Amino acid sequence: MNGFCRLGILSVLALALMACKAGWVQENTPTDQDLHAIFGVPDGDVYAVGAGGTVLRRKGGQWQALESDTEADLYGVWGTSDEHVVIVGENCTALEFNGEPAEPPDGGEMPPDLRALAVSGCTPDGDKIRIIRNIDGIEGGHVAAVGDPRYEDDVPSNNFFLYEGDQIRSTGNLGDRLLGVSTPIAGEIVVSGTNGFLRHHRDGSWMEARNLRLCPVALVDEACPLAEEDQIQPILWDVWVGENGQGAVVGTFGGVWEYPPPEEGAWLPVDTGIDGDLRGVHGHVLEREEGGSEVFAVGGYGAIFRVQDGKAKRQVSGSNEDFHGVWVSPSGSDVYVVGAKGTIVHLIR
């Protein structure tokens, strides 16, 4: 065996060992566009979406670009299989991936990898760009999407949507600008947004909205001494709740609030030690006697936190790029984080 052959075999073995090594790994991607969201379908591949119509698919351990036929920035992705992935974004864009398209029988031009979905109730708002910002669902249950409202006489409308197979349809308005959505089990939906807005749909109706507030001064007897109007209403960028009803909400000022809120006393954030925005959150239900969930929260300047049992531990991924989205596999063995300049980091456990 000559030296070049030995070198080639050793290189392949080294790459294989790197791929299997536990810990955070930065993965190669075919784009330098900002990535905003990521999701893995059950027993299938992982999909990431971002600026300029970017759609990536991780297949066989490699990231490949899919042709979206749009230049719109994409912000949310969810699916049930490699033949059913739904993507949402700016200008009321909605796309669906149904697997690799078949080659035309006449040998003509191949169609795009994704097809456009109709979106009702999402008309433009003057010169303002309307964005559908997030989507989540349960197979056989609700699939909900949230985004920017349309304003009529300064009154917001049409910022909550349902995916109905052949279209995404606006079904009304909740609060102002919605940013996060989670569907823990069939029939339940949790949404988050600006001004500390948080609301839970259960048993066929929406529960009373909760507006989370931050106290800028020290608590007195576990309560804020300031009037509500003097407290800070954070932007709640994202929410994730597991099927056990436990999860987290993330937002401005490094805020991570474990979900559900306490029945009594102040709902205090977990101490992360940062004051920048946390933009994405996802997790998985722990298989242990005492229950609970393990959550990962991500944000600016490479911020990644593992949150569990009231504590947040900073992760070192090797990247200082701004992170926007995160997905955790149901078993917790894999965690993917996406961010600026096509960055994807992967925790293998």
**Residue 290 has what pLDDT?**
83
pLDDT band at 15 (very low <50, low <70, confident <90, very high): very low
CA-CA-CA-CA torsion sign (110, 29, 326, 256): negative
pLDDT band at 18 (very low <50, low <70, confident <90, very high): very low
Residue 2: predicted pLDDT: 54
Whether residue 19 is predicted with pLDDT greater than 80 in this model: the reply is no
The region of weakest confidence among 54-58, 226-230, 302-306 is 226-230
The average pLDDT across 3-27 equals: 59
Instruction: Identify the band that residue 14 occupies on the pLDDT scale cut at 50, 70 and 90.
Output: very low
Q: What percent of the chain has pLDDT over 70?
A: 92
Q: Is the distance from CB of 68 to CB of 95 less than 8 angstroms? A: yes
- Average pLDDT on 216-226 reads 85
The confidence score (pLDDT) of residue 1 equals 53
Please answer whether residues 214 and 253 qualify as being in contact, where contact means their C-beta atoms are separated by less than 8 angstroms. Answer: yes
- Amino acid 127: pLDDT: 62
Q: What is the pLDDT of residues 166-204, one digit of tens each?
A: 899 999 888 889 999 999 999 999 999 999 999 999 988
Answer whether residue 125 shows pLDDT above 90: no
CA distances from 284 to 52, 126, 235, 318 (A): 30, 41, 24, 23
Give the pLDDT band (50/70/90) at residue 298: very high
Instruction: Tally Cβ neighbours within 10 Å of residue 32.
Output: 11
For residue 123, name the pLDDT band (cuts at 50, 70, 90): confident
What pLDDT, on a 0 to 100 scale, did the predictor assign at position 241? 98
341 SS3 class: helix
Percent of the chain with pLDDT over 90: 69
pLDDT class for 63, splitting at 50, 70, 90? very high
- pLDDT at position 11 is 45
Average pLDDT estimate for 125-153: 86
pLDDT classification of 100: cutoffs 50, 70, 90: confident
- Other Cβ atoms within 10 Å of 294 Cβ, number: 18
Of these ranges, 25-39, 101-115, 212-226, 262-276, the one predicted with the greatest mean pLDDT is 25-39
Q: Which pLDDT band, with edges at 50, 70 and 90, does 101 fall under?
A: confident
Q: Per mean pLDDT, which range of 47-61, 212-226, 300-314 is the poorest?
A: 212-226
DSSP assignments along 84-148, one per residue: EEEEEEBTT-EEEE-SSPPPPTT--PPPPSSEE-EEES---BTTBPPBEEEEEE-TTS-EEEEEP
- The pTM for the full model equals 0.91
pLDDT tens-digit series, residues 270-291: 999 999 999 999 999 999 888 8
Contact criterion met (CB below 8 Å) for 162 and 144 = yes
CA dist 335 → 41, 152, 345, 348 (Å): 13, 41, 8, 7
Q: Among residues 193, 226, 224, 223, which one has the least CA distance to residue 211?
A: 193
Q: How far apart are CA 222 and CA 35, in angstroms?
A: 39
Distances (CA, A) of 307 to 187, 206, 220: 26, 28, 26
Whole-number Å distance between alpha carbons of 256 and 297: 8
Classify residue 304 by burial, with Cβ atoms within 10 Å: 0-12, 13-18, 19+. buried
Q: Helix or strand or coil: residue 339?
A: strand
Across the chain, what does the average pLDDT equal? 90
